[in-house]
Amino acid sequence: MATFFQSIFAAIFYLLKYSGRIVGVIILLMVIALIAGKTYQNWDDDPDRGAIALENGEFGESFTTPVYLDQGWTEAESLWFYNTTQGSALMPYDLFMSLEQENSNKLLRDNHNIDKYRYLPQKETFLNPDGLPVGLVKDTYQGNDYIGYTCAACHTNQVNFTKDGITSAIRIDGGPAMADMVGFLTAIEKSMRATLADEAKKTRYVETVLARNNDFKKEAKVIESTEQWLKTISLYNTVNHSHIDYGYGRLDAFGRIYNRVLQHMINKQQLANTMEMVTAPGTNGERRRVLTRDQIDLVLEGVNENIIVDKQFGLVLDRLASTEPGYPGLNQRDLLRVRNSIFNEPNAPVSYPFLWDIGQADYTQWNGVANNAGVGPLGRNTGEVIGVFGILDWTSHEPNGFELSTLITDQKNKNEVVNFKSSIDVTNLRRLEAQLKRLQSPVWPQEILGEIDQVKAERGQLVYAQYCQSCHEVVDRNNADRIIIANMMDINLVGTDKAAAINGVMATGKSGNFQHTVQSITGVGDVFISEDAPVLQILTSATKGVIATPDPDKFFIRRWLDRLYVLGSSFFENKMPETVKKGNYVADTTSNPYSSLLAYKGRALNGIWATAPYLHNGSVPTLYDLLLPKKLDTDPAEGEYRPDEFVVGSREFDANRVGFKSKDYDGSAFITTRVGDMNTGHEYGAGKTAQNNGEVLPALSEKERWDLIEYLKTL
């Protein structure tokens, strides 16, 4: 450490000596800020990492203070990961902190209510003075405080294990959360409605908000802001309503990101034209238009021409349902028809992926959409914050000189260009990605979950080599130079639920100002973005625009120095080369530039024991069940099959079959009959899915299944 500071001060001396005084002072201040930031980052070193015990939580679960396994992070690094903002702004902080539950005077953020949605309660620590749960944090944008999500909300897990009447808990950094985000957002909406409707509840709420003496000084402003943010959250929930129940531990993140970027890119004329073409069944078998042109003009009165913000889109939704003279007064069914013409139903929920080795992986998402080279991780993470409530203060204006975002999104020939100002903290996203490179997979804790039978595990290793290793390479978690290679398998070959892969490619929407701009597709070439375009193209351009737009909350020099750091470190510190995907899939072509995305990845399985439920959509509860076949109508009743119905939500661990408790409690019912929920495919161990070479291996015997399970515990 002494050598580090000596080098820093030597560099400062030469910079001050040989640069201009003003430039030197600025650099000195920047270096001091860097040192202070690094020091500040390590101040929160609570030995429990903020974790607390809980009595009589959801599903009757009680547990002692959670322990942590050695995953390569210190206490301070875990807490920094939990509490580092990324620019998410779900709602004003004072409102969230004061909001009561819908049918109770207890706060919405009460630890037992937080546990109900399977977020992880925390105590107060230095970086978390209000004791927010893992993954929720106070974020500040343009002088106002908001409650927002961090990466940890979806990527921190807990495993409970009961022995001799005592339940121990293990926190897993980077593990897939059991969170029910949809339930939580629905609860917030209901609580806000109940608060505005109940005078006693509203009085308590307003008094609590004002007592915080922060962003709100008057009762009228509290009520106005609550009403406006209720519309925003209600709009989000309505746009993203799905016939598929996500339940615990799953989210259609791509679908929600797609819808959010569509909402902000569609322009007024495109929205009007889309609404005009919405039809419903009429008389005599003919179709009727749901909206007249006069109704559309009234609904869109006062809406911005080029960028439609949350507040205006919420107003459009209200006007569509309004029964006032001239307005359409649409029923729920016709409202959904209008919604479906603009957005895509997010009906393909997937399990939250685990994050260890993400910095060493060539491709990370389930469908391998983005290479991890260069600024790839930055684009991936920026898209994520777009989906989890980054404030998108996008506007349009006439071109007025050089703007990097205009150049890289190919808007240079447009009469108006979009400015991608937002709350998204790209610098923190880069820092988080860098820290994740130090995260290691968790090792099976034999002292808690029971000893591994080494004789069985050695036999299971041979089974793994024959049945699994061609797709799931074995890696050394301690090797700093390890590379995690995604093995992509065509959805028709692996046979698992196709919805997520198909939606990622086939979802389309209005491209707004990106219409007729050019985008380069790796391995294919340049393509024009059409008015009706794949949302993947629209999202790609939008994330480029956000990354190239300096942070509005930082002064000029700091903004550009941060931007240089982000782009420079992405290119020079990220050693991942841009490689062609490995695997058995249909390659991209000029006629089908996204064919390779109709595939799912297999990756190294180190730490797989801590990531249930299994398959990309969480449709199989345990590793043992994953080795069984899906029961078909033609199969005999006797025999072992994957469960077609089970329950999700418990953290109670089944150390035998390796997964979570999946019956006999009131969690989310998982029924595997609909597209999006199906538990088919990946039946290598059942002798039904062909290996990469086309060979179908014999079904494993029961003994071989148990041997393989024992080996999987060792990874």
| Integer-rounded Cα radius of gyration of the chain | 26
Q: Supply the mean pLDDT for the chain.
A: 92
With respect to residue 190, please indicate whether it lies within any of the assigned structural domains: yes
pLDDT (0 to 100) of residue 337: 94
Whether residues 197 and 291 share a domain: the answer is no
Q: Could you read off the pLDDT of 228-259 as tens digits, one per residue? A: 999 999 999 999 999 999 999 999 999 999 99
Per-residue 3-state assignment (H helix, E strand, C coil) for 337-391:
HHHHHHCCCCCCCEECCCCCCHHHECECCCCCCCECCCCHHHHHHHHHHHHCCEC
Whether residues 395 and 514 share a domain: the answer is yes
Q: From 568, 600, 632, give the residue that closes a domain.
A: 600
Whether residues 328 and 446 share a domain: the answer is no
Better-scored residue on pLDDT, 555 or 76: 76
With respect to residue 223, please indicate whether it lies within any of the assigned structural domains: yes
With respect to residue 558, please indicate whether it lies within any of the assigned structural domains: yes
With respect to residue 317, please indicate whether it lies within any of the assigned structural domains: yes
Q: From 565, 600, 635, give the residue that closes a domain.
A: 600
What's the number of domains the chain is made of? 4
Give the start-end residues of each E strand in 96-190.
136-141, 144-149, 156-163, 166-173
pLDDT (0 to 100) of residue 4: 42
pLDDT (0 to 100) of residue 31: 57
Whether residues 77 and 154 share a domain: the answer is yes
pLDDT (0 to 100) of residue 262: 96
pLDDT (0 to 100) of residue 8: 47
Q: From 208, 239, 270, give the residue that closes a domain.
A: 239
Q: How confident is the model at residue 5 (pLDDT cuts 50, 70, 90)?
A: very low
Least confident of 371-375, 406-410, 478-482: 371-375
Whether residues 458 and 570 share a domain: the answer is yes
What share of the chain in percent tops pLDDT 70? 92
* pLDDT at residue 145 is higher than 80: yes
Q: How confident is the model at residue 442 (pLDDT cuts 50, 70, 90)?
A: very high
Say if residues 121 and 54 touch (Cβ distance below 8 Å): yes
Query: What mean pLDDT do residues 507-528 have?
Result: 94
Q: Could you read off the pLDDT of 602-632 as tens digits, one per residue? A: 999 999 999 999 999 999 999 999 999 999 9
CA distances from 24 to 11, 54, 179, 303, 408 (A): 11, 53, 48, 48, 32
Q: Residue type for 312, please? A: Q
Bridge-based pairing state of the strands 582-584 and 487-490? parallel
Whether residues 14 and 75 share a domain: the answer is no
With respect to residue 322, please indicate whether it lies within any of the assigned structural domains: yes
Predicted model pTM = 0.93
- Dihedral (Cα; 126, 353, 707, 665), 10-degree rounding: 80
* pLDDT at residue 1 is higher than 50: no
Say if residues 696 and 495 touch (Cβ distance below 8 Å): no
- CB burial readout 241-270, b (16+ within 10 A) else e: ebebbbbbbbbbbbbbbbbbbbbbbbbbeb
Q: Could you read off the pLDDT of 669-682 as tens digits, one per residue? A: 999 999 999 999 99
Q: Could you read off the pLDDT of 64-105 as tens digits, one per residue? A: 999 999 999 999 999 999 999 999 999 999 999 999 999 999
Whether residues 218 and 291 share a domain: the answer is no
Whether residues 458 and 521 share a domain: the answer is yes
With respect to residue 696, please indicate whether it lies within any of the assigned structural domains: no
Alpha-helix residue ranges (DSSP H) falling in 65-213: 75-83, 93-98, 111-116, 181-197, 199-211
Q: How many CB atoms lie within 10 A of CB 80?
A: 22
pLDDT (0 to 100) of residue 24: 58
Whether residues 447 and 585 share a domain: the answer is yes
* pLDDT at residue 361 is higher than 60: yes
Neighbouring-strand partners of residue 320:
none
With respect to residue 622, please indicate whether it lies within any of the assigned structural domains: no
Bridge-based pairing state of the strands 525-528 and 532-534? unpaired
With respect to residue 138, please indicate whether it lies within any of the assigned structural domains: yes
Whether residues 212 and 319 share a domain: the answer is no
- Please give the Cα distance from 685 to 663 (Å, whole number): 24
- Please give the Cα distance from 149 to 384 (Å, whole number): 11
Whether residues 191 and 326 share a domain: the answer is no
**C-alpha dihedral sign at 387, 241, 350, 51:** positive
Domain extent at residue 6? 2-41
Whether residues 395 and 537 share a domain: the answer is yes
